[in-house]
């Protein structure tokens, strides 16, 4: 329902962070804590957010007003148990977000083990389990130096890689300010993509967005067809609930994909004659309409690792997705975004050294 208050004409925003961090110096590991906060006032003027007070205007879109929320983990004690034989860093951040009378309190944990990073919302008590998970993600793959490949190939993308591809696709093409597709356009294979701000393990877990609008799980792509955009109170298109930033702009929180029927082991067995498994992300960027991934490892199924400089994934190749696993993983995209995704099989281009 549309708000009948001046709630959205003028907003008072306050954010507070209490941080506990474990770092290593010349004397070993040291833990320290600090906190900071900032607050500001903003107004909605002619369809744009500006800093400062003004008479403002009422938004034309309908929206659901936020309500306060405290994550169950917020009052858990911070006890950091570490293995001193590994390279790691741990940061526990207690976050208090406030937009007018709506307050959200949560804990975000940043864990890095030997270069593998994971960020999640939840209890610091789970850090030890996360450390064990990250140690299991370390790649130690035999590389077949003499095996030469390149060009367009069949690949199985791990959830970490697939998350980066969808990150660029959603932000660039489903933005409610400048969408590249119309509602109902067929843009992908038989795949359904959601933005789920309420997935509680994601670093982007939020019960309301940065305009104070209540968040909810939103379908963006349904069976390959565009069904919605990343919308805010100020975008030309799209339902509200995806505003992010001090001067809010449309953005997603946590991407998820409807899982498929394949077990990963079955998919790898069925694909072993001609497919490559792409795991992990060292670096990523978008060049034109192509996402470029520097992978941690590329494995020729049934043969071993191969040297690959980049995996180029033109976004139109998302139409070639022909297999989705029922095996899914919660993955870290960046400090502002999360994902909960399966492995997928599709076409991509392997670029050699």
Candidates 174, 278, 269, 276; CA nearest to 221 is 174
pLDDT at position 44 is 87
The confidence band for 4, taking pLDDT boundaries of 50, 70 and 90, is very low
pLDDT at position 3 is 42
Is 231 in a helix, a strand, or coil?
coil
Domain spans, the chain: 6-136, 151-164+259-351
pLDDT at position 161 is 97
Q: What is the mean pLDDT of residues 189-208?
A: 95
Given a cut of 60, whether residue 7 has pLDDT beyond it is no
The confidence band for 141, taking pLDDT boundaries of 50, 70 and 90, is low
Least confident of 17-31, 147-161, 176-190, 313-327: 17-31
Candidates 227, 181, 170, 203; CA nearest to 334 is 203
Given a cut of 60, whether residue 205 has pLDDT beyond it is yes
> How many CB atoms sit inside 10 A of residue 45's CB?
14
Given a cut of 90, whether residue 122 has pLDDT beyond it is yes
Given a cut of 90, whether residue 279 has pLDDT beyond it is yes
Q: What is the mean pLDDT of residues 49-67?
A: 81
- Confidence (pTM): 0.89
Averaged confidence pLDDT in the chain: 88
pLDDT at position 285 is 94
Residues 163/333, Cβ–Cβ less than 8 Å: yes
pLDDT over 70, % of the chain:
88
Given a cut of 60, whether residue 6 has pLDDT beyond it is no
Residues 159/342, Cβ–Cβ less than 8 Å: yes
pLDDT at position 143 is 55
pLDDT at position 5 is 41
pLDDT over 90, % of the chain:
65
Report for 82-86, 136-140, 232-236: range of highest mean pLDDT: 232-236
Backbone angles phi, psi at 312, to 5 degrees: -95, 125
Pairing of strands 310-314, 290-300: antiparallel
pLDDT at position 55 is 65
Give me 137's structure tokens.
Answer: 């993600």
Give the Cα separation of 47 and 288 in Å (integer). Answer: 30
Q: What is the mean pLDDT of residues 200-220?
A: 96
pLDDT at position 328 is 95
CA 168 to chain centre: 11
Give me 216's structure tokens.
Answer: 């909810």
């Amino acid at each position: 329902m549309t708000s009948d208050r001046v709630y959205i004409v003028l907003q008072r925003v306050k954010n507070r962070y209490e941080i506990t961090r474990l770092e290593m110096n010349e004397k070993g590991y040291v833990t320290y804590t600090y906190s900071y906060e900032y607050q500001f006032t903003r107004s909605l003027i002619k369809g744009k957010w500006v800093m400062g007070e003004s008479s403002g205007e009422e938004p034309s879109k309908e929206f659901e007003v936020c309500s306060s929320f405290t994550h169950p983990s917020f009052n858990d004690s911070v006890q950091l148990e570490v293995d001193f034989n590994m390279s790691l860093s741990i940061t526990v951040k207690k976050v208090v977000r406030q937009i007018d009378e709506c307050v959200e309190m949560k804990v975000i944990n940043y864990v890095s083990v030997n270069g593998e990073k994971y960020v999640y919302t939840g209890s610091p008590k789970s850090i030890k389990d996360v450390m064990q998970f990250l140690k299991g993600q370390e790649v130690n793959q035999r590389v077949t130096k003499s095996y030469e490949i390149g060009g367009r190939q069949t690949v199985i993308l791990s959830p970490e890689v697939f998350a980066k591809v969808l990150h660029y696709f959603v932000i660039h093409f489903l933005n409610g300010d400048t969408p590249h597709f119309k509602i109902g356009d067929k843009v992908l294979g038989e795949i359904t993509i959601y933005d789920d701000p309420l997935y509680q393990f994601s670093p982007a877990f939020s019960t309301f967005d940065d305009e104070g609008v209540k968040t909810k799980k939103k379908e963006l792509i349904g069976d390959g067809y565009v069904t919605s955009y990343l919308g805010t109170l100020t975008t030309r298109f799209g339902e509200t609930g995806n505003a992010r930033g001090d001067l809010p702009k449309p953005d997603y929180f946590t991407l998820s994909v409807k899982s498929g029927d394949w077990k990963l082991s079955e998919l790898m067995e069925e694909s072993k004659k001609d497919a490559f498994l792409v795991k992990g992300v060292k670096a990523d960027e978008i060049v034109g309409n192509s996402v470029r991934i520097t992978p941690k490892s590329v494995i020729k199924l049934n043969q071993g690792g191969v040297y690959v400089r980049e995996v180029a994934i033109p976004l139109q190749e998302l139409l070639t997705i022909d297999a989705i696993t029922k095996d899914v993983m919660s993955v870290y995209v960046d400090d502002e975004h999360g994902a909960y995704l399966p492995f997928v099989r599709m076409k991509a281009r392997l670029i050699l050294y």
